[in-house]
Every structure is written in structure tokens, then in C-alpha cells.
Amino acid sequence: MHPAWVFLIGYATLFVIFLVAWAWQLRTRNAGMIDAIWAYTLGLLAIIDGALGTGDGLMRGVLAVLGGAWGIRLGTHLWRRNAGHPEDGRYARLRAEWGAAAGRKMLGFYQLQAVFSMLLSAGFLVVAYLPAPAARWPLLPGVLIWLIAVVGEGLADDQLRRFKADPTQRGKVCRSGLWRYSRHPNYFFECVHWLTYTLLALTSPWLWLTLLPPVVMAWLLLKVSGIPPTEAQTARNRPDYAEYMRTTSAFIPWPPKR
């Protein structure tokens, strides 16, 4: 199947899923579950591209397994984190700012996430269309980076979850484990994950296209929907967060300042 058709099938699938998710949040008045749905659907795109692509069979299988497993892990974590809790402060503020237009603007916001998901899936498509027989040597660095990213992000998520579950730490800033070296180690490893598909596609003439996902993800996390709103909210709620910001790297894990 031509890559354009695979891309359109993926986008149509996301369009419908995000439309249903939008209708769901109209009823629940809680938009926070879109985070988990976003991760699940990105994993689904990896599986779709791996199944419908016409490139090297082994590389398509690796793509489906790695991308799908990443999406399931992250989506399940986000679902468990948000289920049964009030709406995330980021979405609550948007709803308050938009007022009567919140329903319409939230629809645009959801569908914009589908568009960004398609940009992130560019690396999936390149891997799915690697000419057969594709070189096998990129598998080792690709899988190694995937393991480092997924294990690192999972460890950071678990460390923060345990910290928040400890009643003696209520109102404090997590500085243990990976959070001692980065204010957002989960975001850092999330960006590293997208380099997996660059490494898998090292022999492709379309290699440059696989650089789009890590760049887009870094921009979103550093400038748009990740660090800025998260830190603004945390700084308001935790007085000692300013000191944490002064001494700790925002993104790349690094020894803290004295």
C-alpha cells in the first residue's frame, strides 16, 4: 500500500478516536484522559504502519512491537494517574479561559493533537518502508535506545508516583532518584524514545524525516504543553519549587548546583 494511503488511514483513525474522546469529555467535564488516549493512539499508529507498510518485514515487525509497547506502557500509566481524579489543572484553566466557547475550542484542541500525532508518526512511516532486505545492524542501537528511553521514563514515573503516595511528602518537591538530576526526567526520556526510529532508519534515503518527531516532541515539551504550564502550576502550589528550579536542570539529567 502506498505510504500516502497508510498516512490517511492513520489520520482518519485518529480523527474518529479524538472526536469520540471529545464527546466523552463533554459529558464528564474532564479533558485529562486525552493524555492517555494520545499515547495509546500513537502506539496504534506504529502498529498500523507496521502492518500496512510494504518495506522489510522484520523491520516492520520491530516497529510495531516497539512503538506499540511504548504506547501501551505510557498510555496505561497516564490512565491510572488521571482516572478518578479531578480534571488536570492545565485543562481546567483552558476551560475557564474559554468560557462558553469551551466545547467548540476543546474540539479544535483535541483535533490539533491528532495533527501533531501524525507529525510524530513520520519516523514510523520511514521504518515501515525500508526496502527489503534492510540492513540489520541498526537494530542493536535502535533497540538499545528504546530500552534506555522506556526504562528511564518508566522509572521516573514510578519514582514520582511513590513520592506522591507518601503522606509524609505531601506539599513537598520530589528530589529523589532521577528527579534529583532533572526537573522533568520523564520528558527527557520521552524525547530520547523518538530517536529509536531514527536509528532503525539509518540506511533510508528518508532518514532526515525521522528527525522531525524528536524535534517536534522536544518543542512541545519544552515550549508548549509540557514544562511551561506544569512548572507554572507547581510553582504556585509549592513554595520551595523556586529553589528546586534554581538548582536542578530543567530537562537533561545533570548534577544539581550547590
What is the band of 192 on the pLDDT scale with cuts at 50, 70, 90?
very high
116 Rama class: left (phi>0) / alpha (psi -120 to 50) / beta: alpha
Asked whether residue 82 carries a pLDDT value surpassing 90, the answer given is: no
The predicted structure's pLDDT at residue 169: 87
**Per residue in 176-191, pLDDT tens?**
999 999 999 999 999 9
> Which string of DSSP letters, residue by residue, matches 11-71?
HHHHHHHHHHHHHHHHHHS--TTHHHHHHHHHHHHHHHHHHH--S-HHHHHHHHHHHHHHH
Residue 245 has which C-alpha cell? 528550579
In order, the DSSP letters of 83-120 are TTSPPPHHHHHHHHHHGGGHHHHHHHHHHHHHHHHHHH
- Quick check: 235 pLDDT over 90? no
Per-residue pLDDT band for 89 (boundaries 50, 70, 90) equals confident
State the average pLDDT over residues 79-100: 87
- The yes-or-no verdict on residue 232 having pLDDT over 90 is no
pLDDT in tens, 118-157: 999 999 999 999 999 999 999 999 999 999 999 999 999 9
User: Which among 197, 68, 33 has a CA at the least distance from the CA of 124?
Assistant: 197
Q: Where are the domains of the chain?
A: 3-247
Dist CA 10 CA 58 (whole Å): 21
b vs e for 57-75, b when ≥16 Cβ sit within 10 Å of the residue's Cβ? Answer: eebbebbbebbbebbebbb
Mean pLDDT of the chain: 94
**How far is the C-alpha of 235 from the C-alpha of 243, rounded, in Å?**
10
CA atoms of 201 and 207, how far apart (whole Å): 6
Which pLDDT band, with edges at 50, 70 and 90, does 216 fall under?
Answer: very high
- pLDDT at res. 111: 95
Q: What is the pLDDT of residue 86?
A: 87
